[in-house]
Chain A
């Protein structure tokens, strides 16, 4: 492996050392200019950052999936009109005009990608992980999804259809993974704890209740 490649652990370079300080300085310079010019109050930036670090994350999507697992009527609403169903759920802000929920079954596995940039349902999953925005994922999800799943340690039956959704507009997608066996009788909270972020993107499966216990 070359040094460049070592550096490239997540498909893009993370700034280290001098690059880290370069970006710190450049972003600080922009913030100072925009503050002095009267466009922004830095305290407003603090509030946004705090929201992304503490309030908006995959725990929101996990609660939605858990409810869909537990209540057939809610699952039908979610699959028919996720924007409306999530709004009625009352835990998140409206997801723009179009959140689309897609259900994984034994016959069909759904996977979400944005090959052109990084489109992702922030309101229900938080900010996307680095791998989702990386060149390896964006390039391969659409032509080698089983290979991508193998990178995540996931193998699906050879006859399961793989459906990849490329998020090329302002519609956003949430995967409803298959409810794991052995999860009968669990509370909503216990079910939500089985729902991983990656299972809602389609690159992972929910936790096994025995492992999660």
Chain B
């Protein structure tokens, strides 16, 4: 989705302003909001890619003006409704108006510690990797209307495969409920000038983590 979330290379957002002695949460509701989101994720209410898509689908003005956890709260409301865990009327009323979704267990204290562990996304591969380390590749010029992890600034660009990171759940499929569809994952590095033009700092290199369907082969450079 070519949304406002895809910010790499945009101009006009101003300086980075680090906050001295920043607290983990700026208000108690932020911690509650994080924990509620993580708990529903741990219950399998939706997967991580559906969760990210839920943030990306917020209207651009909302995305830019809400705080980070404010966006998480709005995403939580919309996904609870979308996946049938609560009704809009219940969220508006602040109370349950009916029973919970059948088959949903309760997220309890004993689940809390395990929920801090990151999920595992490596999957067995159906075929060997198509690209090898050192190979030049071009990213595809794709513009799916649904979730993708190929940022706009790195589409249609030539880079070099620097590492093969294993075979992983493919977010573009997982986000639309189309299953894990495991794909090889590569670190692909680009010269800054390939991304941003010839006046770019020649010392800049940028890499992305690119799933195999994002990449296409390039002919080998001619021998001089």
- A residues with a Cβ closer than 8 A to B are 5, 8-15, 20, 23-34, 36-41, 43-45, 47-49, 51-53, 56-57, 93-98, 113, 115-118, 122-123, 126-127, 129-131, 133-143, 145-146, 148, 151-152, 158-172, 198, 203
6 residue pairs from A and B, CB less than 8 Å apart: A11-B14, A13-B65, A41-B109, A139-B10, A141-B8, A171-B165
Query: Which of A25, A98, A133 lies at the interface centre, i.e. has the most chain B CB atoms within 10 A of its CB?
Result: A98
* Cβ proximity bits B1-34 to A, threshold 8 Å, 1 near / 0 not: 0000111111101111111001011111101111
> B209, A169: Cβ atoms under 8 Å?
yes
Say whether B173 faces chain A, with CB atoms less than 8 Å apart: no
Total A-B pairs, Cβ < 8 A: 302
15 extra A-B contacts, CB within 8 A, seeds A14-B67, A138-B7, A169-B168: A23-B70, A27-B29, A33-B91, A33-B95, A37-B86, A38-B100, A41-B109, A45-B35, A48-B116, A96-B121, A98-B165, A134-B16, A143-B9, A169-B185, A198-B18
- B17 touches which of A11, A95, A198 (Cβ 8 Å): A11
> A166, B209: Cβ atoms under 8 Å?
yes
Chain B residues contacting A163 (CB-CB under 8 Å) are 189, 205-207
- Interface SS of B by simple majority: mixed
Chain B residues contacting A139 (CB-CB under 8 Å) are 7-11, 13
Q: How far is the CA of A82 from the CA of B176 in the complex (A)?
A: 32
- Closest CB pairs A-B (n = 3): A115-B8, A29-B94, A96-B118
- A162 touches which of B95, B120, B203 (Cβ 8 Å): B203
Chain A residues contacting B106 (CB-CB under 8 Å) are 38-41
Q: How far is the CA of A159 from the CA of B109 in the complex (A)?
A: 52
Chain B proximity of A8: nearest CB distance (Å): 8
Q: How far is the CA of A51 from the CA of B117 in the complex (A)?
A: 12
Say whether B76 faces chain A, with CB atoms less than 8 Å apart: yes
User: Closest residue of chain B to A137, judged by CB?
Assistant: B16
> B18, A146: Cβ atoms under 8 Å?
no
Residues of chain B in range 95-139 having any CB-CB distance to chain A below 8 Å: 95-96, 99-101, 104, 106-109, 111-113, 115-122
User: Closest residue of chain B to A57, judged by CB?
Assistant: B24
> A34, B18: Cβ atoms under 8 Å?
no
Chain B residues contacting A130 (CB-CB under 8 Å) are 19, 22, 26, 68
Chain B proximity of A133: nearest CB distance (Å): 5
With A27-B29, A40-B107, A143-B196 given, is the CB distance from A168 to B210 under 8 Å?
A: yes
